[in-house]
Amino acid sequence: MQTHEIRRRFLDHFVKAGHTEVPSASLILADPNLLFVNAGMVPFVPYFLGQQTPPFPRATSVQKCVRTLDIEEVGKTTRHNTFFQMAGNFSFGDYFKEEAIAFAWSLLTGSVADGGYGIDPEKLWATVYLDDDEAYSIWHDRVGLPAARIQRRGMKDNYWSMGIPGPCGPCSEIFYDRGPEYGVEGGPEADEDRYIEIWNLVFMQNERGGGTSKDDYEILGPLPKKNIDTGMGVERVAFLLQGVENVYETDLLRPVIDKAAELTGAAYGVKHDDDVRFRVIADHARTAAMLIVDGVNPGNDGRGYVLRRLLRRIVRSARLLGAERPTMAAIMTVVRDTMAPSYPELATDFSRIETVAVGEEAAFLKTLGTGSKLFEGAVEAVKAEGRTVLGGTEAFTLHDTYGFPIDLTLEMASEAGLSVDEDGFRSLMAEQRQRAKDDARARKHAHADLTVYKELLDRGPTEFTGFTELVSEANVLAVITGGERLHAASAGQDVELILDRSPLYAEAGGQIADIGSITGQGLRIKVNDVQKIAKQLWVHKVTVLEGQVVEGDSVLVQVDPEWRKGATQGHSGTHLVHAALRQVLGPNAVQAGSLNKPGYLRFDFSWPSALTEQQKQDIEAVTNEAVASNFPVNTFVTDLDKAKKMGAMALFGENYGDEVRVVEIGGPFSMELCGGTHVQHSSHVGTVTLLGEQSVGSGFRRVEAYVGLDSYRHLAKERALLAGLSSTLKVPSEEVPGRVESLLERLKVAEKELEKTRAANVAAAAGDIAAKAQRVGDVLVVAERAPRGATGNTLRTLASDVRGRLGGDAAVVLLLGDSDGKVPFVVATTDAARAKGIKAGDLVSSFGPAIGGRGGGKPDMAQGQGSDASGIDTALDGFRNRLRELAG
Ligand code: SER
């Protein structure tokens, strides 16, 4: 039975039993605790916890899941997959254990003709939690499973949670017995290779707190209702039903292995090491494609890092299998063909998937060869020295210069029998990490406990009146602070207000919240921020300025009209820039984030390199042409499928409801799913001025722009600057650049001339200075101020020139300069002086302190610099005195 069919039968079975079919959520749900969705129940957590009322009592889904904790284990055995599909049925306080077990059993053992999987009941085993007699007796008495095939297991195996605080409960797992050729008798307790777990039925009834391991955490208490969460591993059922040995032999993965064999010339099933590489390619390619299609781009931290690591492991594995040319495009094509029947977006978005994956391959191939050589050299050196640890510096260079993810280096090192100085590596990485941290701006409300809002959420969403009016009457539904219901608040208090309706825009889709006020009888409230909870409840964060606000009050809510006008310009401007970017750069410039407010916008998008000057100009031109075209702005509500068919752009990773709002500017020019506030005609945006472009992490760029009056103000300021320059330079403004260039040219020539003259003057001074030599004992001493302008090299040349003029005598020269508060000096000795034991370097201490300077050097010449010109005379005396001592 093909995998797609297994999925279809699962969903049909549960839809028939009254479940609502829910499409898979994106792999990147906005949960800060989860890197990726890793179980079918993740999108339903608020329903289990009772924080939100589920729109249906029963649901079924096949959820895309990614688990990447043990990437290194992939392929070593056939048991690990980083991507898998979890088919599940869910009851939110509706049915419980008995039905859950019966539903699972009838699907597994029901005949193929009747829509089941047709599995021989004799092959199935079940486990239950230690003291779960209820589940035991359902299996035994209702289903008729013999006692010998029901095992009781402890918390580690039969008590399920997400591994983090949240819903949890005892579970019952269903296993398939592959027969004696796969291992010993004795059920899952004895051998989990022979007995394969295919379905986990969780009786979700408690809430857990923090903890350290699978079987060590606190149970906080019962959930409001008893729920069911089940998860059937689609891939596992597929390999059993397809009668093959393991997941890698199924219709979804084997074709990728075959393609890899064709591309590399190696054979699967011959050498264990090669097989591991084949399985890495097959597993990772599928996961990478699914991540890219959900909007992940390769990067150096978080999700992007996981994707980068997956892609680079594919590249390295293909290389080790013998590939001499790029293989990524061909491999991704097979992934698309096998997976698209269930995930059509892999076909429709294929060019983006290919661009991202192939781009990463190209980047890594460029450095893989040299990096590998560096690695091998370092390994040899470490071994030759009898050490076992590869240095942090090497690991960092491999990462920084050659793009080797540290985990790849760790793996390669362990293949070579070495470990890596990870501490050293990490301290070198500290700087990069800091940047990553700054990026990961914690989302407001990310960890909030939603319980206090539950009743309000159940009442329905806040009515947003702000598309049509800026002032609305509203009722105060709740006064809240710190997760607690206060019912009333008075002057001076900062609280949250929930209203039944509001014209104030709550931050979303990159547009920041409106500012405004709330007033009533003797009441004055300032609104500081407006945020949404669960996408539907407006939470007004306010300061009560005057009076008292009490739940039930009628109030007047007002948006600051100037602010709103600016906000619509900012948001519509963002859509225009987005459309222009895609027109100029093509469809691979995918939106990664945006922020807009009155007068300003910024837009982040995936793009591998800096924009050229021409591209920036083109983007600005296309944007402003769209402004000038005075396009009408239309908004309408439709369903997601229709909107996508019309070509409306959606943000990857965002979960849209069934009904979506489309904002269209100039028909095909710009069409986006968006809940923001917009101008009515594109000309209202006003001039858009691009401020520049910069990198925001690997693979992402950011453009910023001013719109409306701010754009004008910015341009006016620049014009004033230019006018100032033009009047200073006394040329019309268009001649300013030419004039500045010619001035710079002249300046360069003049500086060179000046340098020459100075050098000549200084050189000319050599004779005069030499003539001032005084005899101290049998040594000729020159201790003089150098002519003005003698610094560094000229001073040095001058000193050796003077020394030369003193001939074969024992002679010592000290020259002290004085320029810009610095006192450079040079001491030089002749051969004859050195023969008497006089060393230039030793003499510095005789005068250095007087000018606050230090320095040193060789016996023939010493050089340095002081900072106190007032001590020059003392310094000269000190020097002469020292020589007198030496000569005397
Ligand atoms: N949440 C359970 C699991 O992931 C069953 O869906 O195994």
How is 196-250 classified by DSSP, letter by letter? Answer: EEEEEEEEEEEEEEEEEETTEEEEEEEEEEEEEEEEEEHHHHHHHHTT-SSGGGS
End residue of a domain, out of 540, 559, 578: 559
The model's pLDDT over 809-818, given as tens digits with 9 standing for 90+, comes to: 899 999 999 8
**554 and 692 both lie in a single domain:** no
Measured in angstroms, how far is the CA atom of residue 211 from the centroid of ligand 1?
A: 19
Task: Give how far the C-alpha of residue 847 lies from the chain's centroid of Cα atoms, to the nearest Å.
Answer: 59
pLDDT at 445: 36
- CATH number at 457 reads 2.40.30.130
Q: Is the pLDDT of residue 440 over 50?
A: no
Q: Is the pLDDT of residue 436 over 60?
A: no
Q: Band of the pLDDT at 568, cuts 50, 70, 90?
A: very high
Nearest atom, ligand 1, residue 88 CA: 6
End residue of a domain, out of 663, 694, 711: 711
Mean pLDDT of 702-719: 95
Tokens describing residue 444: 């407001």
pLDDT at 311: 95
Measured in angstroms, how far is the CA atom of residue 68 from the centroid of ligand 1?
A: 16
Nearest atom, ligand 1, residue 231 CA: 6
pLDDT at 732: 93
pLDDT at 113: 95
- CATH number at 839 reads 3.10.310.40
Q: Is residue 850 part of a domain?
A: yes
Q: Is residue 739 part of a domain?
A: no
Measured in angstroms, how far is the CA atom of residue 871 from the centroid of ligand 1?
A: 82
Tokens describing residue 641: 């499928």
**13 and 91 both lie in a single domain:** yes
Q: Is residue 758 part of a domain?
A: no
Q: Judge whether 130 and 189 are in contact, CB under 8 Å.
A: no
Q: Is residue 805 part of a domain?
A: yes
Among 199-203, 418-422, 772-776, top mean pLDDT goes to 199-203
Q: Is residue 735 part of a domain?
A: no
Measured in angstroms, how far is the CA atom of residue 149 from the centroid of ligand 1?
A: 22
Measured in angstroms, how far is the CA atom of residue 126 from the centroid of ligand 1?
A: 15
Closest CA to 856 of 848, 844, 846, 847: 844
Q: Band of the pLDDT at 453, cuts 50, 70, 90?
A: confident
Cβ contacts of residue 725 below 8 Å, gap of 6+? 733, 736, 740
Q: Is residue 726 part of a domain?
A: no
Q: Judge whether 498 and 456 are in contact, CB under 8 Å.
A: yes
Long-range pairs of 309-312 with CB within 8 A, sequence gap ≥ 24: 309/71, 309/405, 309/407, 309/408, 310/68, 310/71, 310/82, 310/284, 311/284, 311/357, 311/360, 311/361, 311/364, 312/360, 312/364, 312/403, 312/404, 312/405, 312/408
Q: Is the pLDDT of residue 294 over 50?
A: yes
The model's pLDDT over 351-391, given as tens digits with 9 standing for 90+, comes to: 889 989 998 998 888 888 888 888 988 898 888 888 889 98
**Euclidean distance between CA atoms 149 and 175, whole angstroms:** 10
Measured in angstroms, how far is the CA atom of residue 75 from the centroid of ligand 1?
A: 23
Mean pLDDT over all residues of the chain? 90
Q: Is the pLDDT of residue 763 over 60?
A: yes
Geometric angle at alpha carbon 689, from 686 and 691, rounded to 5°: 150
**337 and 307 both lie in a single domain:** yes
**43 and 176 both lie in a single domain:** yes
**31 and 150 both lie in a single domain:** yes
Q: Is the dihedral of CA 470, 473, 477, 481 positive or negative?
A: positive
**90 and 115 both lie in a single domain:** yes
Q: Is residue 227 part of a domain?
A: yes
Least confident of 310-319, 416-425, 500-509: 416-425
How is 308-342 classified by DSSP, letter by letter? Answer: HHHHHHHHHHHHHTT--S--HHHHHHHHHHHHTTT
Residue minimizing CA distance to atom 2 of ligand 1: 231
Q: Judge whether 399 and 409 are in contact, CB under 8 Å.
A: yes
**472 and 332 both lie in a single domain:** no
pLDDT at 455: 81
**Euclidean distance between CA atoms 41 and 66, whole angstroms:** 13
Q: In testing the pocket of ligand 1, which one of 92, 127, 160, 205 has its CB within 8 Å of the most ligand atoms? A: 160
**Euclidean distance between CA atoms 656 and 642, whole angstroms:** 13
Three-class secondary structure of residue 78 per DSSP: coil
Task: Count the domains in the chain.
Answer: 5
Residues present in the chain in total: 888
pLDDT at 446: 36
Determine how many CB atoms are found less than 10 A away from the CB of residue 550: 15
**602 and 662 both lie in a single domain:** yes
φ, ψ of residue 37 to 5 degrees: the values are -65, 130
pLDDT at 441: 36
**867 and 777 both lie in a single domain:** yes
Closest CA to 806 of 827, 782, 842, 826: 782
* Amino acid at position 511, single letter: Q
Q: In testing the pocket of ligand 1, which one of 89, 202, 206, 228 has its CB within 8 Å of the most ligand atoms? A: 202
Q: Is the pLDDT of residue 567 over 60?
A: yes
Least confident of 208-217, 245-254, 316-325, 618-627: 208-217
| C-alpha R_g of the chain | 38
pTM above 0.75, yes or no: no
Measured in angstroms, how far is the CA atom of residue 159 from the centroid of ligand 1?
A: 10
How many C-alpha atoms does 810 have within 13 Å on its Cβ side? 16
pLDDT at 745: 96
> Could you list the residue range(s) of the whole structural domain that residue 416 is in?
254-443
Q: Is the pLDDT of residue 309 over 80?
A: yes
Q: Is residue 433 part of a domain?
A: yes
Nearest atom, ligand 1, residue 38 CA: 4
Alpha-carbon distance values, 102 to 96, 137, 632, 839 (Å): 10, 12, 57, 100
Task: Write out residues with Cβ below 6 Å of ligand 1.
Answer: 39-41, 88, 160, 200, 202, 229-231
Mean pLDDT of 781-793: 86
Closest CA to 95 of 285, 198, 228: 228
Residue minimizing CA distance to atom 4 of ligand 1: 39
Q: Is the pLDDT of residue 755 over 70?
A: yes
Mean pLDDT of 736-758: 93
Cβ contacts of residue 799 below 8 Å, gap of 6+? 813, 815, 826, 827, 828, 861
Measured in angstroms, how far is the CA atom of residue 202 from the centroid of ligand 1?
A: 7
Which has more pLDDT, 250 or 855?
A: 250
End residue of a domain, out of 247, 274, 300: 247
pLDDT at 790: 78
φ, ψ of residue 259 to 5 degrees: the values are -65, -40
- CATH number at 24 reads 3.30.930.10
**482 and 600 both lie in a single domain:** no
- CATH number at 681 reads 3.30.980.10
pLDDT at 713: 95
Measured in angstroms, how far is the CA atom of residue 229 from the centroid of ligand 1?
A: 7
Which has more pLDDT, 536 or 176?
A: 176
Among 482-496, 525-539, 559-573, 590-604, top mean pLDDT goes to 559-573
**Euclidean distance between CA atoms 666 and 647, whole angstroms:** 13
**Euclidean distance between CA atoms 868 and 852, whole angstroms:** 6
Tokens describing residue 451: 């319980």
Nearest atom, ligand 1, residue 201 CA: 5
Q: In testing the pocket of ligand 1, which one of 37, 198, 200, 228 has its CB within 8 Å of the most ligand atoms? A: 200
The model's pLDDT over 53-97, given as tens digits with 9 standing for 90+, comes to: 899 999 999 999 998 877 888 998 888 899 999 999 999 999 999
Among 362-366, 565-569, 760-764, top mean pLDDT goes to 565-569
Residue minimizing CA distance to atom 3 of ligand 1: 231
